[in-house]
A = this chain, B = another copy of it.
Amino acid sequence: MALIVKKFGGSSVATTEKMMSVAKRILEEKKDDDKIVMVVSAMGDTTDELISLAKGINGEPYKFPREMDMLLTTGEQVSIALLSMAFQTLGHPAVSLTGPMVGLQTDSAYTKGRILDITPERVHEELNKGNIVVVAGFQGSNSLGDPVTLGRGGSDTSAVALAGALGADSCEIYTDVEGVYSADPRIVPSARKIKEITYSEMLEMARLGAGVMQPRSVEMGEIFKIPIHVRSTFTKASGTIIQGDYSMEEKSFVIRGVAHDENVTKIAVLGISDTPGIAHKIFDALAKANVDVDMIVQSMRNIEKNITDMVFTVSNDDLTKAKEVMETVAKELNASKVLIEENVTKISIVGAGMLGNPGIAARMFGALAKAGVNIEIISTSEISLSCLIKGGHVKEAVNAIHDEFFPNR
């Protein structure tokens, strides 16, 4: 017997036909004594439709976050009612439960709630009665009993957290790809599906641009030690298992994958006098404006004149805010120039195996050199290594690095 939480996103349940095929598949794969909990999102574009309805009342509906949650939580409630009917139509008992009904308690940060606790007695009761339990993802309730949504990626997070609270054997996240790949398959045709990856590697991959899993849900899996199986809605093939460690075979790879992020802006502040406190001035001002800074490099430019340059990267999304801040700060610091370069690319390799393998960095730089790609900034973490390159060279760069570490079999 296994207790398995299975999460299906909005595109997997976008129509009643799709719901019926999800239900069929689940029943085909289910062993007689398996206990199944389904976590589902709102159907297809429902959430967007509800938001545009709210805009008919007020152009900025998120000014009323409590009411937005009251509105948006109906989306998953529709899904769970229909999916539960689908199971019953196919002859298996099932019951739908909203987020509040599974005891998912949140704080009161409407539209971006955090999970405080889950007390899923009702889920156990319904499972023990032989039901498949269909749970609304993305939602819970606060101490007042008001519905609260968990914000972006919330369905994954609530699935993994519910799996943890239930003591489930695993949590399966169904998605439109077959798992996590060693590089983006749209760019690297030879990218391989990663069989196993650790929570920290997956978090690092996500942070560095690999979009499959939401970081919060991976953290949740690590906290509760629940293996997360990322797999395809459309095939029955095994996907990627995210867990604390991996099997011997998988350890032979020194890196897990190549991630890249094209949503990067490089900002260079040139010709500032190199005195203590300049770094603090720049990055404190940016932090106060809520701009997340990623890579930072300070270089000595001119020892005689005692001036230096400061180079760093931010997300393209923060460009406007960062520009404003830097205009003020550059004047204060008497900088000679601020250079801004949008849409540069950060390429990273990730893998816990890098730690005891000193040659890894050299191999990455070598691959880029051979491909004729110039490196602008380098930064490292315990289990990753990132290089900033000019925009427009992603394909060559990512393929060169991937070929180096995952030679064609």
A interface with B by C-beta (< 8 Å): 15-17, 19-20, 50, 53-54, 56-58, 61, 63-64, 66-68, 70-71, 73-74, 77-78, 80-82, 84-86, 88-89, 95-96, 98, 101, 122, 144-146
B54 and A67 within 8 A (CB)? no
Secondary structure of the A contact surface, majority rule? helix
Cβ 8 A contact of A74, one of B56, B74, B84:
B74
* Docked CA distance A85–B17 (Å): 34
A78 touches B74 (CB 8 A): yes
Specify the chain B residue showing the minimal Cβ separation from A17.
B56
B74 and A20 contact, CB distance less than 8 A: no
Report chain B residues within 8 Å CB of A146: 101
- CB contacts (< 8 Å) of A64 on chain B: these are 84-85, 88
Does the CB pair A96–B67 fall under 8 Å? yes
Does B145 lie within 8 Å of A101, measured CB to CB?
A: yes
Q: Are B53 and A67 in contact (CB under 8 A)?
A: no
CB–CB A58/B85 < 8 A: yes
Tell me the nearest residue of chain B to A74, going by C-beta: B74
A54 contacts which of B20, B68, B85 (Cβ < 8 Å)?
B85
Do residues A70 and B66 form an inter-chain contact, with CB atoms below 8 A? no
Taking the closest CB of chain B, its distance from the CB of A245, in whole angstroms, is: 40
> In whole Å, how far is A305's beta carbon from the nearest beta carbon of chain B?
58
B-side contacts of A89, CB under 8 Å: 57-58
Decide: A71 near B82, CB < 8 A? Known: A16-B56, A53-B16, A57-B89: yes
Q: Report B-chain residues with C-beta under 8 Å of the C-beta of A145.
A: 101, 122
Q: How far is the CA of A49 from the CA of B248 in the complex (A)?
A: 54
Minimum distance in angstroms from A316 CB to a CB of chain B: 32
Q: In the docked arrangement, what's the CA distance between A53 and B78, Å?
A: 10
Contact B71 A78 (CB under 8 A): yes
Check if B95 sits within 8 Å of A56, measured CB to CB. Answer: no
The smallest C-beta distance from A10 to any residue of chain B, in angstroms, reads: 15
A88 to B74, CA, bound (A): 21
With both chains docked as a complex, state the minimum distance between the C-beta of A94 and any C-beta of chain B, in angstroms.
8
Q: Residues of B contacting A15 with CB < 8 Å?
A: 56
Q: Which residues of B contact A56 (CB under 8 A)?
A: 15-17, 82
- A124 to chain B minimum Cβ distance, whole angstroms, is 14
Kindly state the separation between the CA atoms of A63 and B89 in the bound complex, as whole angstroms: 9
Choose among A61, A67, A88 the residue with the greatest number of B CB atoms under 10 Å from its CB: A67
Tell me the bound Cα distance from A56 to B89 in angstroms: 11
A-B contact pairs, 7 of them (CB 8 A): A16-B53, A20-B57, A58-B89, A66-B95, A66-B96, A70-B96, A122-B145
Q: Is the CB of B95 within 8 A of A82?
A: no
Q: Is the CB of A77 within 8 A of B84?
A: no
The winner among A16, A63, A122 for most chain B CB atoms within 10 A is A16
Residues of chain B contacted by A67 (CB below 8 angstroms) = 81-82, 84-85, 88, 96
- Assess the B101–A85 pair: CB atoms within 8 A: no
**Are A57 and B74 CB-contacts (below 8 A) given A88-B64, A101-B145?**
no
Shortest A307–chain B CB gap in Å is 54
Residue of B nearest to A144 (CB): B122
Give Cα A66–Cα B77 distance, bound, in whole angstroms.
Answer: 13
Q: Are A50 and B78 in contact (CB under 8 A)?
A: yes
The complex places the Cα of A19 from the Cα of B57 at a distance, in Å, of 8
A63, B86: Cα distance in complex, Å: 12
